[in-house]
Chains A and B, each alone.
Chain A
Amino acid sequence: MVKLSVSNLQIRYSGTTALEGVNFDIQEHEIFGIIGPANAGKTSFLKAVNRMDMFDPDMRVDGKIVFNDVDVAKIRNVYGLRRRIGVVFPLPVGLPLSIYDNVALAPRLGGQKNKAELDIIVERCLTRAALWDEVKDRLTSLGSMLSGGQQQRLTIARALSQEPELLMLDEFSIAVDPVTTMRIEDVLKELRKEVTIILVTNLVQQARRLADRTAFFLEGRCVEVGVTEDLFTGEVQDQRTRDYVEGRFG
């Protein structure tokens, strides 16, 4: 089943094109990688998916993004859309709330007030994000005081607390040590059974380890989409993709 379908997407900031010519479908329970150098339009793409362009008056999105068979541009209740899409940023954002409140925030925003229910959600999400054992004895201490790697897992737990159908990770490992990165990657492999994942990454090998299919963005264009392994074994149509995955530029 197609989870997210993108056609003729074009994103501009104050008239300057940041991304155009994007056409692909993302299947349910797929890990879909997006690789490419800086300024390729990767983050802009994620912002367009969950309608964050609303908060950026300079940003203009044309074309079509269809999520669950609904055109996101036509969704009036954008809050409902965003609740179904979890986002993890490059730099971990532990909100200055307790660890518990960080994870309970999304359910609370959704109207959940029952303490017992919240307890269950918090434990489940922290466990799935591989953080529970480290923080279970200090759930009341501040989330923003955790180490970078822990905060990033907290962010993932927070995204999971939304019970998202789609999880979008934007270069999540940039501020995380290699050990934590591998732990999070294991978490993602588990999660794919339940959610669809878009993995934007600057680490080509990370895409290779995780993604079923991968898109290569370059200078505001989607150059190529293919089964990830093909990109590395030479089954590519475009020379630029080969150069990038082999580290000849970018």
Chain B
Amino acid sequence: MFEATELNRRNDTRQKLFKLGLGTMTGLLILPVILILTTLIYKGAPVISFEFLFTGPTKGMTAGGIFPALLGTILLVLVALLASVPLGIAAAIYLSEYAADNWFTRAINLAIINLAGVPSIVHALFGVGAFVIFFKFGTSILAASLTLAIMTLPVVIVATRESLQAVPMAFREACWNMGATRWQTIRRVVLPNAITGILTGVILEVSRTSGETAPIMFTGAAFFLPLLPQGVFDQTMALSLHLFVVSTQVPNMPEHLPFGVALVLISIVLLMNSLSIALRMYLRGKKKW
């Protein structure tokens, strides 16, 4: 009674074919990642050393380390975060918890989505016009970071809003019924349960920001600086731009050096992504409902 019919067999063959096909596609997908990483490690690892990470470039950047660029990237990301995280979270809380669903809110949401779609070079030109020239910050860490902040703002807003909306409506209603104001509800019930998602979004933003080149190259990142920046109104070197410079702009560059820079940059990104995944897994284990 359980013998396979012709139709059963045909269905089974078909499903095996599809499984194979879909699996192959997935394999192809991770192939570039593996190739990039192995190439970078194979060619870049030999130059990585304590000196490489913690000294400045010498001999027209063909020797020495990348410390000013590494420090610059960290500074740029930090200042960008200081600007975009409070602003983005505040906006997301307003949009998710307070704003009525009307044409104005929908227009704002549309604007945020469009902001996420603006090419980074356009953000760069906006940064030059707004921060470098209009606000007279000059080409500086501040101008570059604010440009990065505006570029990553949609990511923070969308991540925060989605985490807030993942908190069940019933929790809010239970609170309101107890006589809590909207803010008391947000503060005591909604935010504590959304904070994990918000943090993940912020960390992903860090990983994205640290690799951006276009928005900073006109607004604050320099080709080469002999001194470290002394404040936010100084220019700085940055890893992403440094990679571009040592790969294409400097003659007689030793082959391994650009790979070393790329390896450091991608390590930062991967480290941040792993941190975000680890955090998410840890907090999901503590999920409260």
Contacts and interface: CB of A to CB of B under 8 A. Distances in A.
A63 interface: no
B39 interface: no
Contacts, number: 65
Nearest to A54: B176
B9 interface: no
A158 interface: yes
Contacts of B180: 79, 105, 109
B178 A55 contact: no
A110 B179 contact: yes
B175 A95 contact: yes
A91 interface: yes
A155 to B, nearest CB: 8
B120 to A, nearest CB: 39
Contacts of B289: 94, 96, 144
A82 B176 contact: yes
Interface string A75-100: 00001111101110101011111000
Interface string B161-177: 00000000011011111
Interface string B113-152: 0000000000000000000000000000000000000000
B188 A91 contact: no
A93 B172 CA distance: 10
B189 interface: yes
A55 B189 contact: no
B193 interface: yes
B170 A93 contact: yes
B176 A105 contact: no
A97 B175 CA distance: 12
Contact of B179 (A91, A109, A145, A155): A109
Interface residues of A, number: 31
Given A95-B189, A105-B188, A109-B184, A89 B170 contact: yes
Contact of A83 (B101, B179, B188): B179
B178 A82 contact: yes
Interface in B196-248: none
A50 B175 CA distance: 13
Interface in A87-127: 87, 89, 91, 93-97, 105-106, 108-110
A79 B179 contact: yes
Contacts of A82: 176-179
B100 interface: yes
B284 to A, nearest CB: 13
A100 B175 CA distance: 15
B181 interface: yes
A201 to B, nearest CB: 19
A185 B26 CA distance: 57
Given A95-B189, A144-B288, A162 B171 contact: no
A52 interface: yes
Nearest to A84: B179
A95 B174 contact: yes
A96 B177 contact: no
A57 interface: yes
A142 B192 CA distance: 14
Interface in A118-166: 142, 144-145, 155, 158-159, 162
Contact of B178 (A91, A96, A158): A158
Given A96-B193, A144-B288, A144-B289, A89 B174 contact: yes
Contact of A79 (B170, B181, B192, B193): B181
Contacts of A50: 177
A34 B198 CA distance: 43
A178 B173 CA distance: 26
Given A83-B178, A106-B179, A91 B171 contact: no
B171 A96 contact: yes
B174 A93 contact: yes
Nearest to B286: A142
Contacts of B174: 89, 93, 95, 155, 158
| Residue of B170, B178, B192 most packed against chain A (CB within 10 A) | B178
A109 B184 CA distance: 8
Nearest to A79: B179
A93 B174 CA distance: 7
Nearest to A97: B189
Contact of A96 (B100, B101, B176, B288): B288
Contacts of A108: 188
8 contacts: A57-B101, A79-B179, A87-B177, A93-B171, A94-B289, A96-B193, A97-B189, A105-B178
Given A79-B179, A96-B192, 8 more contacts: A55-B173, A82-B176, A83-B178, A89-B170, A89-B173, A89-B174, A110-B179, A144-B289
What are the 10 A-B residue pairs with the smallest beta carbon separation, nearest first? A96-B288, A83-B179, A82-B179, A87-B177, A144-B289, A93-B174, A79-B179, A106-B178, A93-B170, A96-B289
